Structure 1
Amino acid sequence: MHGLKRARQASCEALAADVKRAQAQIRVSTAGLERTTLNAPFAGIVARITGEVGEYTTPSPPGIPTPPAVDLIDDACLYVSAPLDEVDAPKIKAGQPANITLDALPGQTFPGHVRRVAPYVTEVEKQARTVDVEVDFDTPPRQALLVGYSADVEAIIERRDNVLRVPTQAIQQDGTVLVLGADGTLETRSLKTGLANWAFTEVVSGLSAGDLVLLSFDQEDVKAGVKVQPKAVP
C-alpha cells in the first residue's frame, strides 16, 4: 500500500517537472519570438525594408555599419533642414522668421520660423563648412507635402518695406550697374546699396524707380556705350 502511494507521488512529481519544463520551453520560444519582432517607436510610413522574409540579421563586425532593417518616416510634423554657411551662422537664432520655398510648388512662399540651429559645424568632403538649420512651417501648406522635397530657406534677419531694389545679379563686382540711357545706349551707374540677399538688393541712391538695368553679362561686347534694344517682358 505504501509502495503504491510512493509510486503515485513519484508520478505526480514527474508530471509537475514536465509542466515546468514545458513552461520553460514556452518562455524560451517567446523570448526568441520577441527577438524577431520589430516594434515601431512611432506611427509612420515604411519607406524601405532591408532584407527578405525569413532572413536573419546579425551584428556586423567592428567598423562595418549594419543597414537598418526598416526605414520609418514620421510625417506627422514636417520641417525643413538646410545647410547654412558658417559665416552667416552667428546671425541666425531660434525663433527668427523665415521664408520657405519648394521646387515642387513654384511661385509660392510659405512663412515659417527657425526651430533649431545645430551647435556644431559640418564639413563634407572638404567642401564649404556649414551649419544645419531647421525651420518649421507657421501654417502647414494646403497641398500634401512629400518627405524629401527640395526646399530653400531664407532667414529674415532684418526687413525693410517700400524701398527701391534691383535684382542682385544686375550688380557687377565693382558695385555698378549698366542702365539704359535716354539715347538707347548703356551707361554705368554707381550704387549705394542697403540690405541684400541672393535675390534682391536695396538701392539707397544711384537709381530711380523705372530705370532699366542690364541683368545678363553673358555677352562680352555688351558694355557701357553700346546701343541696345530692351527685351519685351511677357
Structure 2
Amino acid sequence: MTDSQAQTALSALRIDRSAAPMRRRRKRRWLIPAALLLVVLGLIGVSLARRPPTVRVAEVREPLPGEQQTELSASGYVDSRRRSVIAPLIAGRLVEVAVEEGEPVRRDQVIARLDDRDARVVLERANAEVQAAGARLAASEAQALNADRTTERTRNLARQGAVPRAQLLDVETAGRATRESLNLARAQLAVARRAREAARLQLTHTVVRAPFDGTVSRKLADEGAVLAPAALSGTNLGGIVELVDLHALEIEAEVSEEQLTRIRTGQPALIFLDALPERAFPGQVATVRPAIDRSKATATVRVRFQAVPQGALPDMGAKVSFLRQPLPPEELNARAQPKRVPASAVVRDAQGSAVWVVKDGRLARQPVRVGERVGDEVSLVQGPGAGTQVVVAPEPRRLRDGRRVKVEAGGG
C-alpha cells in the first residue's frame, strides 16, 4: 500500500464534527414551537376548566286549577253578547253627546241629539197639511149633505111629474160626484195624518237613545260631526258611541277543527284572564259557531262565565281549559295546591332531597321536601318559591355552591 492510499483510508475513517452543530440547531428550532404549543394547550385547558358550565333550567310553578281534568286548552278574548255601535237612524249634524266613556247608561236614556230644526219645520208643515185636509173634508161633507137633500127633493118632484126625467138624472150624477169628492177629501186627510206621523217620527230620530242597559266603552264622535245613518265596519260613518253590556261577557276562543269533536255545548270549563292571573273562573261552553275559518282552520267557541267577574272588560286576553267534568269549588284556588318542578330537577344524596337553584348566574343547593308525582313533575311540600329557576337533570360532580353557570339558550 502506498502512502497516498493509506492517507485516503485514514481520511475515510475520520469523524466529521462540523455536522453536529447543524443537527443541534435543527433540534432547537423544533423545541421552541413545541414548547409554545404546550403552553397554549395548557392555557386552553385552564380556561376550559374555569369556564362556567352550561345548564338547562326550569321554573318552579304553581299548578293551574283543573290540570288533571283538562281535555284541551285554547286562547281567546273577552267579548259581550250585547255590544253595539250606536248610530242615528237619519243623517244630521251632532249638537250634543250626553254621555262619556266608562259611563253606565240605562235603556232609552238619551245618548245624543242631532240638529232638529229641519225636522221641526217638516212637522209644522205636516200639521198645516192636516188642518187643510180637515177643512177640505168638512167642506166636502157639507156639499155631500146638500147634494143628498137636492137629489131626494128632485126625486119627489119627478114622481109628481113636476120635473123632467133628464133633470133628475143630472141631479143624481152631481150627487155621485159630490160623494166621490167627499171620499177623496177623507183619503187626503188620511194621507196628511200619515205624513204628520212620519214627520213626528223623523223628529224623534234626532234624539238617539240607548237600546239596552250597558256601559259606554268608546266615544266615536263629538259635537259638530255630520253623521250618516249607519256605521260600516272599519269606517265610522255614523257611530256616536260603542255600548257594551258588561253583565253579558263571555269568551270567544279559537279551537282547531281537528279538536272540535272534543267540545260540546254545556261542557264545563275554566277561564283564566291575563289581567287577573291569580284567579280561575268557572264557565261552560255556550255555543260552537258552525263555521270554519279557512285561513286558520279554526272554529270559534263561545264560553260563558258562571258569574261575570268584577274587573273583566271586553277584549281582554283569556285562556280556556275545557274540562272532562266540573271542578269542585275548593280546587279553584291554585295557591292552595303545592308547587311543582320537573322530577329530573330533584337530586337525592346522603344529605337528602334538594334542587340546584340558579340565582344571579350562580348555583345554590336548596333542600326540598317532595310530595306526590304528577306526570313528569313532582309536588314540593317545602322548597323554593314559584318562578325560581332550578337546574334540570343536574350533574352534582360538576356543580357546587356558588359556582357561576351559564343558562342554556331557550332554557327556563
Q: TM-score range by the shorter chain?
A: 0.5 to 0.7
Question: Which residue is equivalent to 2:305?
Answer: 137
The alpha carbon displacement at 1:87 in A equals: 3.5
The alpha carbon displacement at 1:159 in A equals: 8.8
SS of alignment partner, residue 254 of structure 2: strand
Give me the whole-angstrom Cα distance separating, in 2, the residues matched to 1:59 and 1:80: 28
Question: Which residue is equivalent to 1:120?
Answer: 291
SS of alignment partner, residue 136 of structure 1: strand
- Say yes or no: does 1:99 pair with 2:273: no
The answer as to whether partners of 2:345 and 2:355 remain within 8 angstroms in 1 is: no
Question: Which residue is equivalent to 1:29?
Answer: 199
Give me the whole-angstrom Cα distance separating, in 1, the residues matched to 2:377 and 2:192: 91
The alpha carbon displacement at 1:25 in A equals: 6.1
SS of alignment partner, residue 196 of structure 2: helix
The alpha carbon displacement at 1:135 in A equals: 1.5
Paired letter, 2:323: I
Task: State the number of aligned residues.
Answer: 184
Larger Rg: 2
Give me the whole-angstrom Cα distance separating, in 2, the residues matched to 1:31 and 1:74: 27
The alpha carbon displacement at 1:57 in A equals: 0.6
Percent identity between the aligned chains?
A: 26
Flag the structure with more relative contact order, 1 or 2, with Cα contacts below 8 A and sequence separation at least 6. Answer: 2
The answer as to whether partners of 1:113 and 1:138 remain within 8 angstroms in 2 is: yes
The answer as to whether partners of 2:287 and 2:302 remain within 8 angstroms in 1 is: yes
The answer as to whether partners of 1:82 and 1:133 remain within 8 angstroms in 2 is: yes
The alpha carbon displacement at 1:207 in A equals: 7.4
The alpha carbon displacement at 1:106 in A equals: 3.0
SS of alignment partner, residue 247 of structure 2: coil
Q: 1:34 to 1:43 in 2, by over 3 A?
A: same
The alpha carbon displacement at 1:140 in A equals: 4.0
Q: 1:96 to 1:105 in 2, by over 3 A?
A: same
Give me the whole-angstrom Cα distance separating, in 1, the residues matched to 2:233 and 2:303: 33
SS of alignment partner, residue 33 of structure 1: helix
Question: Which residue is equivalent to 1:111?
Answer: 282
Q: 1:144 to 1:95 in 2, by over 3 A?
A: same
Question: Which residue is equivalent to 2:255?
Answer: 84
Q: Note the alpha carbon deviations across 1:88-143, whole angstroms, 9 max, x for none.
A: 322111111111122332321122211122222225xx5x43322221222444x3
SS of alignment partner, residue 82 of structure 1: strand
- Say yes or no: does 1:151 pair with 2:321: no
The answer as to whether partners of 1:49 and 1:71 remain within 8 angstroms in 2 is: yes
The alpha carbon displacement at 1:73 in A equals: 0.9
Give me the whole-angstrom Cα distance separating, in 1, the residues matched to 2:327 and 2:216: 45
Give me the whole-angstrom Cα distance separating, in 2, the residues matched to 1:185 and 1:28: 80
- When normalised by structure 2's length, the TM-score is 0.34
SS of alignment partner, residue 312 of structure 2: coil
The alpha carbon displacement at 1:28 in A equals: 4.9
- When normalised by structure 1's length, the TM-score is 0.54
SS of alignment partner, residue 76 of structure 1: helix
The alpha carbon displacement at 1:210 in A equals: 5.7
The alpha carbon displacement at 1:155 in A equals: 0.9
